[in-house]
Amino acid sequence: MTEHFSHVVRGSGPGLLLAHGGGGGIEANFGPILDDLARTHTVVGPDYPGSGATPRSDEPLTLDGLADSLVATAVSAGVERFTILGYSLGTAVAVRAATRHPERVTGLVLTAGFAHPTNQMRLAVDVWRELLDLGNKELLAKYLTFAGVGFGYLNALSPQELEGALAGLAVPEGAPEHVDLVASVDTRAELGRITVPALVIGTRQDVLVPIGVQRELADGIPGAEFVEIASGHSMQAEARDEWLARIRDFLDR
């Protein structure tokens, strides 16, 4: 049965559906650009199970389930057709939504994305999952900051700023299910069936999802445009203005 997720709706204009990352949420992943996007679009931002106000799932998450529920949430909010802006795990959710609901999806913007985790990514995700099980929040924050923040931004932080970033890193209760889903993603076979305009935004200093993996995602989608920004996986903080400019350029077209 398809669920409707807890969500925010902002703005007016053409539809824009947000698909957040694993271990993240709408506010954490898109908060810095929500108001700007809502100036020109009706933005629907659903939180996955265990993020925001959406109850945690008592069973494993599936890509089909997340894609169907995201689309159902947008439609229930009165947004019938939409571009999907996906981040990290949300890029796979967006791709699956586009192939399962082609009548709804008018375009894709995919940031820091992947079609299938490489061995390097699997090792990173395995460590992430084991740290969640250990329950050591300080160690988890150090690991996610090391893996998730580009070296340029990270090394420019003062000791006090780094300490504040570690202390402020929040992990939603549904993160274990999100991370398990990351490990199982495989959208390679369906990329060729995407017929809507697509922009893939690569994060050049990404440790968690290497830039080559992001380029392969773009190469698999017919006609997809690929651009890079100088950022790690957390481009919301590292390169917010450039990220927004790339999204805005695509949406304006």
In order, the DSSP letters of 50-83 are TSTTSPPPSS---HHHHHHHHHHHHHHTT--SEE
Instruction: Give pLDDT, residue 3.
Output: 77
d(CA 56, CA 52): 10
Per residue in 183-200, pLDDT (tens digit) is 999 999 999 999 999 999
Torsion sign over Cα 17, 93, 65, 54: negative
> How large is the average pLDDT for residues 96-113?
98
The phi, psi pair for 202, rounded to 5°, reads: -90, 140
> How large is the average pLDDT for residues 145-166?
96
Instruction: Give pLDDT, residue 195.
Output: 96
Instruction: Give pLDDT, residue 1.
Output: 53
